[in-house]
């Protein structure tokens, strides 16, 4: 057995190369015998390192912003069609999940064609900032019990009527002024 660190490292490396299969078999055998303990240790290590990893990744992304951006752009250009198909499928799934949360029909006229169904802000757009469909989906699905009453599912016609009645858009205020002038 070598005494200095360099010689020991070389000896260990050679030993691992020669006895590779035997060491792997022992490792597998130990893992299968102690699966539950391994899972617990693995989970504990993962939780312990999560905060440190998050900090490291933030610094890494900041430091390599340009290179990572170029890699993402290259990847996107090479895989544009598959990415777009995947994104469309995911968007349709999100829309179907969101609409099924509200019953899948217009809440005024019972229209069921999801192509013309829209989400209406009951509180008005001033209370909740205008967002894309994906952002609204995420917003509602984070806490559906609390946020579901803030929105309703309407067809395009009922949505326009609702905006006119409650004055949540430019046309609504004009509509109200016209009604008041006629009365």
Average pLDDT, the chain: 83
Can you give the pTM of this predicted structure? 0.51
- Domain locations in the chain as residue ranges: 5-62, 80-182
Task: Tell me the pLDDT tens digit for each residue of 34-64.
Answer: 888 888 888 888 787 888 888 889 999 999 9
Confidence label for 121 from pLDDT (cuts 50, 70 and 90): confident
Confidence label for 2 from pLDDT (cuts 50, 70 and 90): low
* pLDDT for 77 beyond 90: yes
Task: Give percent above pLDDT 90 in the chain.
Answer: 27
Task: Tell me the pLDDT tens digit for each residue of 142-176.
Answer: 777 777 777 888 888 888 888 777 665 555 566 66
Q: Supply the pLDDT for residue 20.
A: 94
C-alpha closest to that of 133 among 151, 107, 146, 145: 151
The residue written with tokens 């499928």 in the block is 89
């Amino acid at each position: 057995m070598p005494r200095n660190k360099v010689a020991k490292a070389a000896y260990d490396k050679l030993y691992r190369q020669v006895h590779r299969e035997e060491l792997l078999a022992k490792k597998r055998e130990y893992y299968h015998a102690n699966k539950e303990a391994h899972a617990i240790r693995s989970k504990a290590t993962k939780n312990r390192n999560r905060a440190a990893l998050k900090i490291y990744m933030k610094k890494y992304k900041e430091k390599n912003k340009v290179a990572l951006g170029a890699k993402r752009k290259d990847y996107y250009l090479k895989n544009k069609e598959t990415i777009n198909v995947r994104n469309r499928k995911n968007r349709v799934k999100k829309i179907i999940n969101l609409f099924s949360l509200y019953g899948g029909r217009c809440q005024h006229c019972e229209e069921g064609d999801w192509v013309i169904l829209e989400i209406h802000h009951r509180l008005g757009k001033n209370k909740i900032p205008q967002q894309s469909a994906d952002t609204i989906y995420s917003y509602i699905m984070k806490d559906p019990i609390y946020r579901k009453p803030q929105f309703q599912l309407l067809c395009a016609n009922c949505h326009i009527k609702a905006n006119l009645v409650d004055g949540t858009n430019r046309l609504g205020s004009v509509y109200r002024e016209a009604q008041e002038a006629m009365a």
